[in-house]
Amino acid sequence: MLISKELFFFVRSKKFVLLGLISASITISQAFILSRTISKVFLERNVLSDIQTLIYIFIIFSLIKPLINFLQNTLSHSFASKIKSNIRTSLLNQIPSALLLQERTGSAINTFLTGVDKLENYFAKFLPQLFLAILIPLFILILVFPIDFITGIVFTFTAPIIPFFMFLIGSIAEKLSQKQWKSLKLLSAYYFDVIQGLPTIKLFNRSKEVLRKIEEITNIFRIKTLSVLKIAFISAMVMELTATISIAIVAVAIGLRLLSGNFNFAEALFILIIAPEFYLPMRQLGISYHSALDGISACDSIKELLASSNRNNINNNNEKIENLTSREIGLFIKNQSPNNFNSSEISFKDSKNWIKSYLETAPIFFENVTFAYNERNIKALDSISFKIEPKKITAIVGETGAGKSTLMNLLLKFFEPTEGTIKAGEFNLEDINEIEWRQNIAWIPQNPHLFNKTILENIKIAKPEASFEEVVESARRARIHNFIASLPNGYYSFPGEGSSKISGGEAQRIAIARAYLKDAPLLLVDEPTANIDPITEEEIILDFFNLFRDRTVLIIAHRMDTIRKADRIVLLQNGRIAGIGSHDELLKTSDYYKKIFKEQDEKQSPNIQ
């Protein structure tokens, strides 16, 4: 849709309409003055001093007009800025789930930055121009009709041809050329592909052939595109011709009537000067048409990104949930120790500490939890029920796609279960404010993200108010302190910098340091599998278990040592629970579990000749 409801902003904005009218009036007045001046000199033999005033007025108008146009421009630009800012804000408020799943992060960033920027031309150029293309011709038409009926008729009948052809471009020729633009995009995708694959091309000694192919494809494309554009250009030509030929008709028609003496020269000249101004806004609209198309396609990808969010209006609900939680916790405390507490006096901070101590004794329950990332998809988790015991290690074991990460995402409240409930003790996780909840979780993902900030800041994200000594202490406990201290800038080094480039193992240790610093009762860990060499990996696992002491731990496990040390193992298979129990129990009860371990055992006894 080319004309959206935002157009009405320009119509509703009295300032904008007023500026448009003033600008048009000035243009018309100038044409009027000019024709009068020339007529006076030409026919009435006036000398310069007689018409000096007229020229000065003309100059004054020339100086005012830029100011008006400047204001018009600023107004539409600030309108576009406001829209851009609003869209970015709502994108950030809704956290597209594409980001949480780490899918298509690149295209999300692209839409957030470049896509939103593309709206600029649409809102700041196309829409105002569309408005002016209606306003100015109408204005001129109203003035011209009383002066010369015939010109009025010519204008009236030729004017619609331009928008008509513009929309014809929009429907027929443009569709064709849009197809070509699409293949242009394909062509650049092909080129990018080829450049990216250059090492492969060299490996196969095919550079010359590929070069020839680029040449061939671009040539074919050029010829095909031009044959399409040939047609598309015709409608552009008709637009152009309409304007010029109707000026020619008007000029000749007026000239002939001047000859017969029933027309005034000044008025004739006025019409001739104003005629191009009549067509100009409509022709300019045609020019901004392409950028409008760009804006519309950007709009689509923004909408798509917004729609991918399953956390609608999360910010609006925050307050409600906070109140509810504090009240509930207050009630609970009252029930536990009725004489010591007054629920109304419990501050936010108290309740937080309370959850913390509560979690030290309360188990977490999954009760028939089902989750699907979206309606069409298969269930990532299917009616899962199990218990995470406090201060024990619960290991999740399963193949890729079994639902292990989904389980973590739910516990972190990145997503809410589609069906069923997760409970912390007696509280439904849904009712607990997500920020309060996460304050009690330390999380070590497979590939911890290190921000483009100093290592100090990277550790401190776990506890922004932590002192330097606290950070060093947690780094020591994570056995990363010596490494950090060996960097040229120590704790003030950046993770990406040249020689201080952080390896996967070091990143893991920084995540462990974060967890020590946060000192949360609940620990969620995804054991590393890749990017770390086996020896470092073993060391890190040892560090993990130091951290695990006295905490409730849920760990996605990939190593036998870890699994053996876990108090309880939850075996997942295709989103369902295939077994729960200790290592020995599972070996007895689950064939699937036995199968996994048998493969391991075979591996462990290497075939030494």
> Are 274 and 140 contacting, i.e. CB atoms less than 8 angstroms apart?
yes
Q: Which amino acid is at 147?
A: I
- Structural tokens at position 440: 């009690």
Nearest residue to 482 via CA among 513, 457, 453:
513
CA separation, residue 575 to residues 19, 103, 420, 586 (Å): 63, 20, 14, 18
Q: Is 377 in the site for other proteins (CB under 8 A)?
A: no
| Site residues (CB under 8 A) for other proteins, limited to 562-601 | 563, 596, 599-600
- Contacting other proteins (CB under 8 A), which of 397, 455, 569, 572? 397
Q: Is 218 in the site for other proteins (CB under 8 A)?
A: yes
Supply φ then ψ for residue 420, to 5 degrees.
Answer: 80, 180
Q: Is 335 in the site for other proteins (CB under 8 A)?
A: no
**Residue partners of 263: CB distance under 8 A and separation at least 6:** 148, 254, 257
d(CA 462, CA 471): 10
Q: Is 164 in the site for other proteins (CB under 8 A)?
A: no
Which residue lies nearer to other proteins by CB, 333 or 512? 512
Binding-site size, other proteins (CB under 8 A): 145
> To the nearest whole angstrom, how small is the minimum distance from the Cβ of residue 244 to other proteins?
4
Q: Is 190 in the site for other proteins (CB under 8 A)?
A: yes
β-bridge pairing 522-526 and 552-556:
parallel
> To the nearest whole angstrom, how small is the minimum distance from the Cβ of residue 231 to other proteins?
11
Angle, CA 284 vertex, CA 279 and CA 286 arms, to 5°: 100
Which single residue is written with the structure tokens 């009712």? 431
| Site residues (CB under 8 A) for other proteins, limited to 262-301 | 265, 268-269, 272-273, 276
> To the nearest whole angstrom, how small is the minimum distance from the Cβ of residue 533 to other proteins?
3
Which residue lies nearer to other proteins by CB, 89 or 368? 89
- Contacting other proteins (CB under 8 A), which of 141, 161, 194, 487? 194
Q: Is 312 in the site for other proteins (CB under 8 A)?
A: no
> Are 439 and 352 contacting, i.e. CB atoms less than 8 angstroms apart?
yes
Which residue lies nearer to other proteins by CB, 342 or 347? 347
Which residue lies nearer to other proteins by CB, 221 or 341? 221
- Structural tokens at position 242: 């309409």
Which residue lies nearer to other proteins by CB, 441 or 577? 441
Sign of CA pseudo-dihedral 251, 257, 258, 262: negative
Nearest residue to 28 via CA among 51, 61, 63, 68:
61
| Site residues (CB under 8 A) for other proteins, limited to 16-55 | 30, 34, 37-38, 41-43, 45, 47-48, 51, 55
Q: Is 461 in the site for other proteins (CB under 8 A)?
A: yes
d(CA 280, CA 335): 78
| Site residues (CB under 8 A) for other proteins, limited to 87-106 | 88-89, 92-93, 95, 99-100, 102, 105
> To the nearest whole angstrom, how small is the minimum distance from the Cβ of residue 99 to other proteins?
5
Choose the stretch contacting other proteins; rule: CB under 8 A; options: 1-9, 249-257, 300-308, 356-364.
Answer: 249-257
- Structural tokens at position 372: 């699907």
Nearest residue to 546 via CA among 530, 526, 523:
523
Q: Is 609 in the site for other proteins (CB under 8 A)?
A: yes
> Are 380 and 406 contacting, i.e. CB atoms less than 8 angstroms apart?
yes
Q: How many CB atoms lie within 10 A of CB 84?
A: 17
- Structural tokens at position 300: 């689509």
> To the nearest whole angstrom, how small is the minimum distance from the Cβ of residue 14 to other proteins?
22
Which residue lies nearer to other proteins by CB, 467 or 529? 529
Q: Is 529 in the site for other proteins (CB under 8 A)?
A: yes
Which residue lies nearer to other proteins by CB, 334 or 438? 438
- Structural tokens at position 143: 């003035």
| Site residues (CB under 8 A) for other proteins, limited to 102-141 | 102, 105, 108-109, 112-113, 124
According to DSSP, residue 487 is labeled S
Which residue lies nearer to other proteins by CB, 89 or 156? 89
Instruction: List, as one string, the DSSP characters of 256-304.
Output: HHHHTT-S-HHHHHHHHHHHHHHHHHHHHHHHTHHHHHHHHHHHHHHHH
Q: Is 401 in the site for other proteins (CB under 8 A)?
A: no
Which residue lies nearer to other proteins by CB, 89 or 385? 89
Q: Is 195 in the site for other proteins (CB under 8 A)?
A: yes
> To the nearest whole angstrom, how small is the minimum distance from the Cβ of residue 484 to other proteins?
19
- Contacting other proteins (CB under 8 A), which of 171, 337, 374, 607? 607
Burial (CB count within 10 angstroms: exposed 0-12, middle 13-18, buried 19+), residue 75 = middle
- Contacting other proteins (CB under 8 A), which of 439, 454, 574, 582? 439
List residues bridging with 423 in a β-sheet: 365, 428
> To the nearest whole angstrom, how small is the minimum distance from the Cβ of residue 438 to other proteins?
5
Q: How many residues does the chain have?
A: 609
Q: Is 533 in the site for other proteins (CB under 8 A)?
A: yes
- Contacting other proteins (CB under 8 A), which of 156, 188, 336, 368? 188
Q: Is 391 in the site for other proteins (CB under 8 A)?
A: no
Which single residue is written with the structure tokens 């590929």? 210
d(CA 583, CA 564): 6
Q: Is 438 in the site for other proteins (CB under 8 A)?
A: yes
